[in-house]
Amino acid sequence: MAESFGNASGSGVYGKGRQPRRRGGAWYVANALLEGRGKAARLVAPVLAAAAAALIVAGCGGGQEPNQFRDEQKGDYEVEVTRATFPASQVVARTYEMKIDVENTGDEPVPAINIAIALPGRDSTLAFAYRSPQPGLAASQRPAWVLEEGYPKLAGTVGRGGAQTSSKRTFQFGTLAPGQTARTVWRVTAIQPGDFDLSWRIEAGLGLGVNAVDRSGETPAGLFEVSINNRPRLTEIDDQGRIVPISPDEQRRLEIEEESSE
């Protein structure tokens, strides 16, 4: 959702009569120049005052929506997630692909397909990360996965992909026409062993009142339950001479045997 930029009434910026004398900043400099520097000062002071006023206006949004969101027409945009995949069993230091396909099933173009990623309950402002409770850390937010350079992107895209938004958990993939599907691909490397819930949510834009909804009227969202192991997957040769991974139960049994012998 777009952040609120507050409200500026304008009072105290341009008052009637002589402008207020203030310590510090452009107002103080302007008055000092007017009082002691003659004709040249009278030419410079209005420029400084105008610059100060421009900074004040730029810093206050007047309670209005930011310009970059004004082209996003408010409303509900119907979409359907036709695929959402991510391996449930992973190993540290290996790279995996997460794929989320979003189809525009409505009659109007979706202003901007956005996908928000988070680890629910892990108190992080970053995608694919969690907040460590360990005291004294220089950076308490730790990645469970590292997103590969140039990702996420649309399938088949060459070069860089989805643009990160002001939220470090939300990525934008552009306008989506009716009937079209945004096939998004994420490449991540697992680096932290443990069990993680990874959530995703589809948005139709970043402006206020711009909503993505499914056929039931709800925001499309989902959850991947992922277990990251710090040991590589063991393999064996099957009856046909192929190298295949052993079953998770067999791998766990062998790991327990190894741990007990250490």
Dist CA 172 CA 116 (whole Å): 9
202 and 128 housed in the same domain: yes
Tokens of 12: 């105290």
180 and 244 housed in the same domain: no
Dist CA 81 CA 88 (whole Å): 19
94 and 139 housed in the same domain: yes
- pLDDT score, position 61: 42
Selection from 83, 114, 82, 86 nearest residue 210 by Cα? 114
86 and 17 housed in the same domain: no
Q: What is the pTM of this model?
A: 0.64
20 and 110 housed in the same domain: no
Domain boundary among 19, 36, 64: 64
User: Secondary structure of the chain: what % helix, strand, coil (to 5)?
Assistant: 20, 35, 50
57 and 94 housed in the same domain: no
Dist CA 127 CA 118 (whole Å): 5
140 and 13 housed in the same domain: no
Dihedrals phi, psi of 209, to nearest 5 degrees: 80, 15
155 and 192 housed in the same domain: yes
118 and 172 housed in the same domain: yes
Domain limits at 89?
A: 73-229
In order along its 262 residues, the chain shows pLDDT tens digits of: 433 333 333 333 323 333 333 333 333 333 433 344 444 444 444 444 444 444 333 444 444 444 455 567 899 999 999 999 999 999 999 999 999 999 999 999 999 999 999 999 999 999 999 988 878 777 788 999 999 999 999 998 877 666 777 789 999 999 999 999 999 999 999 999 999 999 999 999 988 899 999 999 999 999 999 999 887 777 889 888 888 888 878 877 887 787 777 6
Dist CA 80 CA 104 (whole Å): 7
Tokens of 52: 């100060």
Tokens of 255: 């790991």
- pLDDT score, position 255: 74
Dist CA 170 CA 149 (whole Å): 16
- Strands 141-143 and 221-229 come out as unpaired
Indicate the length of the chain as a whole number. 262
81 and 210 housed in the same domain: yes
107 and 220 housed in the same domain: yes
Tokens of 257: 């045997």
Dist CA 94 CA 145 (whole Å): 10
Amino acid at site 181: T
123 and 207 housed in the same domain: yes
Number of structural domains in the chain: 3
Give the pLDDT confidence of 129-176 residue by residue, as tens digits.
998 887 877 778 899 999 999 999 999 887 766 677 778 999 999 999
Dist CA 9 CA 62 (whole Å): 7
